[in-house]
Structure 1
């Protein structure tokens, strides 16, 4: 069946050339058309506007670097992974490490360079499981342990020696321990002046930075059916003035599910996020973003944040629009949906479960036909003075509601509505099931849980 689909694609797609990449059977001496090339890098170099680079569905130990590549309107350069995996890690080999005895091993200059940004994202894979040592990018992080304090199955780094240390149970061979480290920075990389690019059907995993890292002045970049699994920083991250459309994105076990910043413009559809550490969703900058048909099973330290970028002059608001989005805090936890100065959040038919809503001075939130209700406990809505709140047709099941110094209860909710001219048609009551047309379509969003 796969062969039939591939032949149909080759015969009827609008590409000029179908360039084949196969790490097992290919050679970079080939042209990719008559016979496959071996590496993604060679396939990308060969690709011209209108071409599609087809990856054999295998595991690749190299990044997809599209920096400086450009298609043209109507003739994008396309990377079709066909289910391929970009693997960012490499094995820890005993022959390259120094044994210090008592289960302790050291490697000096494991990486070509090591700086605080990389170290803050760092992890080892311990028999296939990420070991962050309680540290994560964009989230709470424990200090690095002293070497003398390491317990079995732990690691640390000493800056003065540029050395990593790992501790195993006494008598366990380093090769037998099955350790890996993230050698590669990001899975898919775009930078510089580029655009009219398509990336589809691809999974990036175990890089120390982002699964999909988008920089520069990118125009008309499209991502379809992509996944970022267990990356050291963001699953997807657009920067500078990059313009991206994403349809079909799974983000699992990353430090941040997705983080878009500076003046990037991003639009997401059909997104599933879970098991992240620092942030689940983070928009920070001065430009618009949107999300539609999204399920977030929230467990990160910070669930959802919208803010201006704090270290540069701003050109405008960080504007985020949500439609048919569920953010569900995991059982036993409470998180925050936070919009801070320069942030504007508009949400329609969304459901927020177990999230306190915090709107700080200079921020604005507009909820229409949304549900805010409890998970581990009933949430609070806190709206600061000099913050703007607009609501209509919402359903609240809250612990408390505060606007500036004014506190409101279910019995005094009508006073809030009248005093602030907000929330016409909204109700504050404990209801098991939301009325039709209010909140997200949770049943339909369950289909996004694919892994």
Structure 2
């Protein structure tokens, strides 16, 4: 799906449907015979904080905030993104050579501003953010977003036998759709997980989940746009996965099936770790 089409679709939906700026936690499930259904009817959950008009120090395409943002301390873990330019996640980058040379265990040294590649960022000692603009985004024309303080996800599923559909999840600090625990009978239909700090969709522990007709893109996790781990069992059918910082799919867990999916603009398509069993069929890969 083209980015312009996505933006227009979201803009159109925003006029007609609910826009929510707080996380959604779903606790009311059903039974195997009668699963509960939560239909967002086009709901957009956007946790992003627009900081475009902040007082930025500008040196070419490297911008630095004048001081830290409230409740947004430096993020040492490069697993996730801490800043977005429009839909694009900015990668936290550390100077591993300098850290090792320091001889100090646990020392954190971020890459210097002048060493950043497009789409990378770091933090100054006082917590100020600096970043180099990503390719395809021009200063003065694109908006800059922070995820919320803390590690909130947009949608938290905390029950079993639940179908969730027609929701777009944006700009979470953690996951777009997050599922923890012994959850059975979880089904996602026609959801969109765009530009979240960690994964777009992530199942944990012994979750059993099926995902249909969904799109997962521009998420900031170093693992993948989808990361299903621990002892979970998941399937993805007729989904589109693209432009995530990590792989399209990062799969540990027990078993997974990916069928009739389109995967494109990914440095890696599907990464399998441990003894996870992964079945793939009728998928399409594009550069």
Q: TM-score, normalised by structure 2?
A: 0.71
- Number of the residue aligned with 2:18: 58
**Aligned partners of 2:84 and 2:195 also within 8 Å:** no
Q: Does 1:105 align with 2:105?
A: no
Aligned to 1:195, what secondary structure does the other structure show? coil
- C-alpha displacement of 1:151: 10
Take 1:91 and 1:116, find their aligned partners in 2: how far apart are those partners? 22
**Aligned partners of 2:240 and 2:262 also within 8 Å:** yes
Residue 111 of structure 2 is aligned with which of 145, 148, 158? Answer: 145
- Number of the residue aligned with 1:78: 37
**Aligned partners of 1:224 and 1:248 also within 8 Å:** yes
Residue 229 of structure 2 is aligned with which of 238, 245, 261? Answer: 261
Q: Does 1:88 align with 2:55?
A: no
- Number of the residue aligned with 1:46: none
**Aligned partners of 1:105 and 1:166 also within 8 Å:** no
- Number of the residue aligned with 1:346: none
Q: 1:152 to 1:190 in 2, by over 3 A?
A: closer
- Number of the residue aligned with 1:306: 272
Matches within 5 A, 1:221-240: 221-240=186-205
Q: Does 1:195 align with 2:160?
A: yes
Take 1:73 and 1:129, find their aligned partners in 2: how far apart are those partners? 37
Count of aligned pairs? 247
Deviations 1:22-81 (A, max 9, x none): x99xxxxxxxxxxxxxxxxxxxxxxxxxxxxxxx72322122212x44333444332211
- C-alpha displacement of 1:100: 6.7
Residue 214 of structure 2 is aligned with which of 239, 249, 272? Answer: 249
Across the aligned residues of Structure 1 and Structure 2, the Cα RMSD in angstroms comes to: 3.5
Q: TM-score, normalised by structure 1?
A: 0.47
Q: Does 1:132 align with 2:90?
A: yes
Take 1:151 and 1:268, find their aligned partners in 2: how far apart are those partners? 34
Q: Which runs of 5+ in 2 are unaligned?
A: 1-13, 95-108, 134-138
Deviations 1:82-133 (A, max 9, x none): 1221112111175xx677797743333533665434x54124333x252515
Matches within 5 A, 1:394-405: none
Q: 1:288 to 1:147 in 2, by over 3 A?
A: closer
Which of structures 1 and 2 has the bigger CA Rg?
1
Q: Does 1:179 align with 2:121?
A: no
Which fold has the larger relative contact order, with Cα–Cα distance below 8 Å and residues 6 or more apart in sequence?
2
- C-alpha displacement of 1:278: 1.3
Residue 258 of structure 2 is aligned with which of 291, 296, 305? Answer: 291
Deviations 1:377-409 (A, max 9, x none): xxxxxxxxxxxxxxxxxxxxxxxxxxxxxxxxx
- Number of the residue aligned with 1:204: 169
- Number of the residue aligned with 2:283: 325
Take 1:294 and 1:151, find their aligned partners in 2: how far apart are those partners? 31
